[in-house]
Amino acid sequence: DLSGSITTPDVKLNVGGEFIKESTATTFLRQRGYGWLLEVEDDDPEDNKPLLEELDIDLKDIYYKIRCVLMPMPSLGFNRQVVRDNPDFWGPLAVVLFFSMISLYGQFKVVSWIITIWIFGSLTIFLLARVLGGEVAYGQVLGVIGYSLLPLIVIAPVLLVVGSFEVVSTLIKLFGVFWAAYSAASLLVGEEFKTKKPLLIYPIFLLYIYFLSLYTGV
């Protein structure tokens, strides 16, 4: 028979200038090559980012783009090209969802349809722009078309007030559509189109007429 005893080695760790004696279990794992189980990873600063930064949501940037769309006149001093040159997804999505919520007076069944029209309508404008020789990305078109729904959101409460006056209501609708189409077209229709500008401006105008029809139920 084999008999005997194993003495626990006196293993100490130097932590912060102080020596701490390891337990028997810790020493056993280290001797058997399983010391990696005891390792503790340092906190990665990348894992401690705020939620908005983690999702790449810049509220200041979104607010600036909203102002650029609602006030499209160059004389106001806004750098409107940032809406096209620095596209984002969450801002336009929020605008489209908000427009969907108020469409048809809260009938949520149109939400999915409006989002579908936004995605595929933007795809149509993108393909047409590329065919005409424009240097624009699909993400840029998606962002511009989404943000440019803001004028239709602005006129929505006005239509609730003047809805009984047909002539005034029609004029406000036309104003909202022209406002939205101008905001989008002035960003998407560049000098590279030259004499072909109407071929791109016209479908943008029709797209916003269709968006307005989804809101009013026409």
pLDDT tens track, the chain, 218 positions: 566 555 545 545 454 544 445 567 667 666 766 565 556 555 555 556 666 666 677 788 888 888 888 887 777 777 777 777 777 888 888 888 888 777 755 555 677 788 888 899 999 999 988 888 778 888 888 888 988 888 888 888 888 787 677 888 889 889 989 988 888 888 887 776 667 778 888 899 999 988 888 776 54
Q: Considering only CA atoms, give the Rg of the chain.
A: 30
Q: What is the pLDDT of residue 73?
A: 75
**C-alpha separations of 138 from 81, 120, 129 in Å:** 16, 11, 10
The answer for residues whose C-beta is within 8 angstroms of residue 11's C-beta and 6 or more apart is 21, 22, 27, 30
Q: What is the pLDDT of residue 4?
A: 58
Q: What is the pLDDT of residue 184?
A: 87
Token pair for 91? 């801002």
Distance of alpha carbon 213 from alpha carbon 218, whole angstroms: 5
Distance of alpha carbon 40 from alpha carbon 58, whole angstroms: 34
Token pair for 20? 């701490």
Quick one: which H or E segment has residue 144? helix 138-147
What are the DSSP E strand ranges found in 73-175?
none
Amino acid (1-letter code) at residue 61: D
Q: What is the dihedral of CA 147, 150, 153, 159, to 10 degrees?
A: -140
The dihedrals phi and psi of 14, each to the nearest 5 degrees, come to -95, 105
Q: What is the pLDDT of residue 123?
A: 92
Distance of alpha carbon 152 from alpha carbon 141, whole angstroms: 18
